[in-house]
Amino acid sequence: MRRLEERKKKKADKKNSRQGISAEVFGQFNVKVEFQPKVIPKDAETKDSIKRLIEKSILFSNLNRDDINIVIDAMEEIVTTPGQDVIIEGEQGDTLFIIQEGEFDCYKVINGTQTYLKTYKPGEFFGELALMYNAPRAASIKSKGDGKVFGLDRTTFNNIVQEAASKKRKYYSQILSKVEILAEVDPYEKEQLCDTLKEEEFTAGSYLVKQGDQGDRFYIIAEGKLIAEKKENPSAPVKKVFEYKEGDYFGEIALVKNTVRQASIKAETDCRVVSIDRDAFKRLLGPMEDILSRNM
């Protein structure tokens, strides 16, 4: 565990050897080199604390188990004192921080005056934008009281966090390319769609949705086979009414018509699906409601 002053002194010693700053995404500080995972020794309790933070954070939502372990090993525990600057606006940044303990106030100079913007609390992260875009720090972050954060270096962030997000987006793009109704969606909208998808796995025989339930998600099959089952009335037998395969979709009726599920969907084999919630569906696929309605 290191205090912030030690880290800042080390950064200051390197400052004169640095080249100019580029605001271009994946610029000179993000040039890929052979990645050697960084390992900072820590006890099991600290590793568990970091893991819990990572699993709750959207920033790390694309990581698999191996990626998570690499990030945990690379994270550095840093303690802060009241009023201490963690990030200073305008400085070059090479670390993002996720909060374990304490609160941290964010300030930005607006019209020549340092203006309070917000307070970050445990579980939240800050400092990622400077790493993603090679830009100077956009605001200052000050420790409100005693605190503890975990810092992740630029190299690990680029090679693990950014790379995982890029791979996941490519994977989702391949899934979406198999969905006929999305053929007319432009590339930018597809990228936005990829960023909103939630991935889930189901075992053979399990139900994804039940007839009569309120629907709040639109599903696309990534792998496997599913079947739709329906009862015409409470006393009627269950009938198989449709079979789904990779690239098919379901759940649009409940979202377009704002009704309950019209059928139950069961996994015929082990399967993987991606889904979009109601708000994202309306925002990104709203213009396609006429097509969806015709396909019903």
pLDDT at residue 242, as a whole number: 93
Taking residue 138's Cβ as centre, other Cβ atoms within 10 Å add up to 16
DSSP structure string for 129-164: HHHHH--B-SSEEEESSSEEEEEEEHHHIIIIIIHH
User: 89, 130, 93, 101: which is closest to 1 by C-alpha?
Assistant: 101
Average pLDDT of the residues in 103-122: 93
Q: Is the pLDDT of residue 16 over 50?
A: no
Name the CATH topology of 2-162: Jelly Rolls (2.60.120)
Q: Is the pLDDT of residue 206 over 60?
A: yes
User: 228, 222, 257, 231: which is closest to 242 by C-alpha?
Assistant: 228
Identify the three-state secondary structure at position 211.
coil
The reply to whether domains 2-162 and 180-295 share a CATH topology is yes
Local structure of residue 91 (DSSP, 8 states): S
**Superfamily (CATH H level) for 180-295:** Jelly Rolls (2.60.120.10)
Torsion over CA: 168, 174, 178, 182 (sign): positive
**Average pLDDT in the chain:** 82
Q: Is the pLDDT of residue 61 over 60?
A: yes
Domains of the chain: which residue ranges?
2-162, 180-295
pLDDT at residue 23, as a whole number: 41
| Cα–Cα distance list, 258 to 221, 252, 262, 281 (Å) | 22, 9, 11, 12
Taking residue 232's Cβ as centre, other Cβ atoms within 10 Å add up to 9
Average pLDDT of the residues in 169-197: 75
Q: Is the pLDDT of residue 19 over 70?
A: no
- CB contact at 8 A, 217 and 251: yes
On whether the pTM is more than 0.75, the answer is no
pLDDT at residue 133, as a whole number: 75
**H helical segments located in 57-108:** 65-74
Number of separate helices (H) and strands (E) present in the chain: 10, 17
